[in-house]
Structure 1
Amino acid sequence: MLDKNTNKFTLWVLAWPIFIELFLQFLLGAVDTLMVSRISDDAVAVVGFSNQLFQAMTTLFMTVASGAGILIAQKLGSFRTGDARTIGIMAVSATTIIGLACSVILFAMPEAIASMLQLPEHLLPLAGTYISIVGGGMILIAMMATMSTVIRNTGNTRGPMYVAIGMNIIHVIMNYGFIFGAFGFPQWGLTGVAISTVVSRLLAVLLLLYMFLRSFEYRIKWKEFRVFDRPLFGEILKIGWPLGINMSCWVFTQLIIYSFIATLGAAELAARTYMNTLESFCFLLGSSIAMAAQIQIAHLFGAGRIREAYRSAYRALGIGAIYVVVNAFILYVFGKQLLGLFTDDKTIVAIGASLLGMNLILQPGKMLNMALGNSLNAVGDTRFTMYISLGSMWLVATGLSYVLGIHMGWGLIGIYSCMIADEYLRGVLSFFRWRGQKHLRKAEQVEPVSHQAQPMEPIPAQA
């Protein structure tokens, strides 16, 4: 008998709420950047730099959250709902503790951290204010990320979407008030933007907590947050620690690359921040399809529907590639005008515009890498994606970026060239790994956990 909730795990049903949620997150970042640009380009550079730092800290708790999300989808696919529920509870408890520790560190020494990461000295006072306030709320980011991940992997991708809508509306209104002194708000500039960010995230956490407690068949009770199942937590870490290292590679190499760009000057740093915002828009739909495919494939894999899981990866890749190429072309055509919405500085606009053609090459590589990398993660092959990330991100994306961009003086053009090479290298390696079907063939030899799970079909020969 098939899972009665199978329809919740189709690619489109999963993907469109994720897309709207990601779009609203993009809107939050774009509105932040646009509004902060009315303060100064220096403030934009600080926000972009700080966000890279926050992403680096985020990997500490996303190790647990990501591993838990994949396992929850697998357990639900194999009808082990009790295990899925316990995994969700443990993930939220563990990541909240980690998030609290991050909050204390960032609140206590923001300028010292920014200085250590080579932020230009004249930006340190602004960075100290922004990092201490927003970074002091890292516990909120930890709770948001984990609860959203758990809720999405139960098949409910709409819930986090609704929360994102509310959070964005509140954030935009408060941003406008604090920056321009509207609605009776004090005109606090970047400090107000930071406060707005923390308040909107706090409200989002409260809504997500309400949804999380009701995400499974039986409502989660407060006393259950003390539950700790060692074997299940071991399963989380088995999948999660390579994911954590993989994510750490990305954010820390990006942070180092940002520090390289910072040495080029404030104009280059601001241009990269603006371009990052526009590039995020390019990849929104592709990213949502890749994330939906991971949930779908993990559920199919847990249910023993191996053939469907194998084909789903290629379907997601094909659909996603079409969208990202179209979006990247639109950005290539209108990118200069869009950059002009953020800043009047002709130097910054010229630097950003010089990268638009390279972005057209970059985006398909990102889709190839993310679609097949996520597919490998969904079936538990997380060590492979970790190994290729360790090699490619550090040697190609970071090491060569320094050689070409800084040492040889190619600047942002050299750094972007290395980012493109990194994405395609990891994407091609992931393609051949998925085509080899190593983890899928192993699963054929294991009996489904539940007698209700669909018998496995023979997996097709390599294409």
Structure 2
Amino acid sequence: MKNRNYSLWALSWPIFIELFLQFLLGAADTFMVSEISDDAVAVVGFSHQLFNALTVLFTVIASGAGILIAQKLGARKEEDARSISIIALKTTVLIGAAVSVLLIALPGPIASLLQMPEELLPLARTYISIVGGSMILAAIMSTLSAAIRNTGNTRGPMYTAIGMNVVHIFLNYGFIYGAFGLPEWGLAGVAASTVVSRLLASALLVYMFLFAFERRIWWGDIKLWSRSLFREILRIGWPLGVYSGNWVLSQLVIFTFIGSLGAAQLAARTYMNTLESFCFLIGFSIALATQIRVAHLFGAGNTREAYKDAYKGLWIGQLVVIANSFIIFLFGSQALGLFTTDPQILAICAGLLGLNLLLQPGKMLNMTIADSLNAVGDTRFTMYVSTLSMWGVSVAVSYFFSIHLGYGLTAIYICMIADEYLRGFVCWLRWRSFKWASRAGSPELPAQGGAAAEA
């Protein structure tokens, strides 16, 4: 049996490095694209919301498979974990290929349908068709990263992120400025750089995946299929897909609201996304590591330890995100000045930095507890909560205040904050009740419920 380390520290620090490098990739994109124009920045930010929405189609499989892999390995069912990863990869490749064809064929109509401002459509067609065409690679990366990470090997995806960032930044610089003998392609070059870096990252992850389990994966395993295991993936995965889909689709709808407010508001939201990502990186890595640990412990039958681990991850994460929020509040204006000198955009962002102090602790609460519920298979509950809260509060209420009453981007942020705390509190009540353990038929339940386990 492979020696797998599931300690919170061993899992979280490589995830943090990987996420930090992904943040640098996004920040480098934003910084370099801002050299082209603020319109180009708005197109990139808007397009990524579209891509995030479409990735839900294959994260349904990837996320469900990842949790099941950790559970099966916790229960010492290595062959089942191996089979689940192969089945998930085959399925997501087919879905990713279909999405790629759609975005290559219809970039303009899709951008228009999503209320992209008219003056941004020419840039959007170029960027969406090129980057969207590589969604099959995004599907491969998502599935393999989830599979490899849930075996306890969080370093592999980290190394991949390092290589991907180096290549992407190098090619970005070359295509934007015409350096290293590369053509000066502007935004089209940034898109091409994304495709090349994804291709190389996918190749590296495939290599790691072949050796991720005790018995090596061979090309002949592509024929492997199990209806019962696929049903298990879907049982956990489809509510997870709806849960993730609620978030990305609601964010996409919110971006259409912001787009209707003007290009300056859209660019401001994109710049704030970059700052918020930095603020939440360590907290997010702790939440993901906690999910892997909880799934592994639950699969091994250690229900009480899994319960306590969620709180351990939550309190550590809260300390980190609160500290980071204050850093962003103090120095955010100076950081934004690196990206744009537009006084209107800077003024909009300055008004949102204080609200970020409230937003981040709510996100940490919601992320850690909801992910812990997902880790033990209680995915339908988080799906129901996300559906009601995201669409009822984050979308409907924000539309009423931001568009109908005219309070703009500030109202949208306030509604986002309310949504995070509402979901986090409801999920905490569910976690504390231990109903998730009863539904799963756990053999190890605390004698006096959640309060006793917390003590």
**TM-score, normalised by the number of residues in structure 1:** 0.96
1:41 to 22, 28, 38: 38
**Structure 2: how far apart are the matches of 1:109 and 1:21?**
32
**Pairing 1:399–2:387 present:** no
**Structure 1: how far apart are the matches of 2:346 and 2:148?**
40
**Pairing 1:160–2:157 present:** yes
Q: 1:459 to 1:276 in 2, by over 3 A?
A: farther
- The answer (yes or no) to whether the contact 1:242–1:383 under 8 Å persists in 2 is yes
Q: CA RMSD in A?
A: 1.1
- The answer (yes or no) to whether the contact 1:87–1:233 under 8 Å persists in 2 is yes
Q: 1:338 corresponds to which residue?
A: 335
**Structure 2: how far apart are the matches of 1:387 and 1:5?**
37
Q: 2:360 corresponds to which residue?
A: 363
**Structure 1: how far apart are the matches of 2:345 and 2:447?**
52
Structure 2 stretches lacking a partner, 5+ long: none
**Structure 2: how far apart are the matches of 1:265 and 1:457?**
54
Q: 1:227 to 1:46 in 2, by over 3 A?
A: same
**Structure 2: how far apart are the matches of 1:348 and 1:104?**
35
Q: 1:116 corresponds to which residue?
A: 113
Q: 1:229 corresponds to which residue?
A: 226
**Pairing 1:58–2:46 present:** no
**Pairing 1:306–2:294 present:** no
1:272 to 269, 272, 288: 269
Cα drift, residue 266 of structure 1: 0.3
Aligned residues: 451
**Structure 2: how far apart are the matches of 1:342 and 1:291?**
30
**Structure 1: how far apart are the matches of 2:337 and 2:448?**
51
Structure 1 stretches lacking a partner, 5+ long: 447-455
Q: 2:434 corresponds to which residue?
A: 437
- The answer (yes or no) to whether the contact 1:249–1:394 under 8 Å persists in 2 is yes
Q: Which amino acid aligns with 1:214?
A: F
**Pairing 1:462–2:450 present:** yes
Q: Which amino acid aligns with 1:120?
A: P
Pairing 1:228-247 to 2, within 5 Å after superposition:
228-247=225-244
The percent of aligned pairs where both chains have the same amino acid is 64
1:178 to 171, 175, 192: 175
- The answer (yes or no) to whether the contact 1:243–1:386 under 8 Å persists in 2 is yes
**Pairing 1:133–2:130 present:** yes
2:77 to 74, 80, 104: 80
- The answer (yes or no) to whether the contact 1:307–1:460 under 8 Å persists in 2 is no
**Structure 2: how far apart are the matches of 1:251 and 1:445?**
32
1:409 to 406, 422, 426: 406
- The answer (yes or no) to whether the contact 2:92–2:143 under 8 Å persists in 1 is yes
Q: 1:458 to 1:423 in 2, by over 3 A?
A: closer
Cα drift, residue 212 of structure 1: 0.5
Q: 2:93 corresponds to which residue?
A: 96
Q: Which amino acid aligns with 1:333?
A: L
**Structure 1: how far apart are the matches of 2:44 and 2:75?**
43
**Deviation string, structure 1 residues 264-297 (Cα, Å, up to 9, x no partner):** 0000000000000100110000100000000000
**Structure 1: how far apart are the matches of 2:75 and 2:448?**
22
Cα drift, residue 224 of structure 1: 1.0
**Pairing 1:377–2:374 present:** yes
Q: 1:429 to 1:458 in 2, by over 3 A?
A: closer
**Structure 1: how far apart are the matches of 2:243 and 2:435?**
20
Q: 1:426 corresponds to which residue?
A: 423
1:389 to 380, 386, 391: 386
- The answer (yes or no) to whether the contact 1:104–1:136 under 8 Å persists in 2 is yes
**Structure 2: how far apart are the matches of 1:198 and 1:109?**
18
Cα drift, residue 225 of structure 1: 1.3
Q: 1:315 corresponds to which residue?
A: 312
- Farther off after superposition, 223-232 or 63-72: 223-232
Cα drift, residue 439 of structure 1: 2.0
Q: 1:192 corresponds to which residue?
A: 189
- The answer (yes or no) to whether the contact 1:289–1:316 under 8 Å persists in 2 is yes
**Structure 2: how far apart are the matches of 1:304 and 1:443?**
11
Q: 1:296 to 1:181 in 2, by over 3 A?
A: same
- Farther off after superposition, 437-446 or 64-73: 437-446
**Deviation string, structure 1 residues 236-275 (Cα, Å, up to 9, x no partner):** 0000000000111001100000000001000000000000
**Structure 2: how far apart are the matches of 1:418 and 1:39?**
32
**Pairing 1:217–2:205 present:** no
**Deviation string, structure 1 residues 82-134 (Cα, Å, up to 9, x no partner):** 00000000011100000000000000010110000000011001000000000
Q: Which amino acid aligns with 1:461?
A: G
Counterpart of 1:462 in 2: which secondary structure? Answer: helix
Q: 1:107 corresponds to which residue?
A: 104
Q: 1:115 to 1:430 in 2, by over 3 A?
A: same
Cα drift, residue 307 of structure 1: 1.0
**Deviation string, structure 1 residues 306-345 (Cα, Å, up to 9, x no partner):** 1110000000000000000000110001111111100010
Cα drift, residue 445 of structure 1: 4.8
Counterpart of 1:342 in 2: which secondary structure? Answer: coil
- The answer (yes or no) to whether the contact 1:179–1:193 under 8 Å persists in 2 is yes
**Structure 1: how far apart are the matches of 2:327 and 2:424?**
23
Q: 1:19 corresponds to which residue?
A: 16
**TM-score, normalised by the number of residues in structure 2:** 0.98
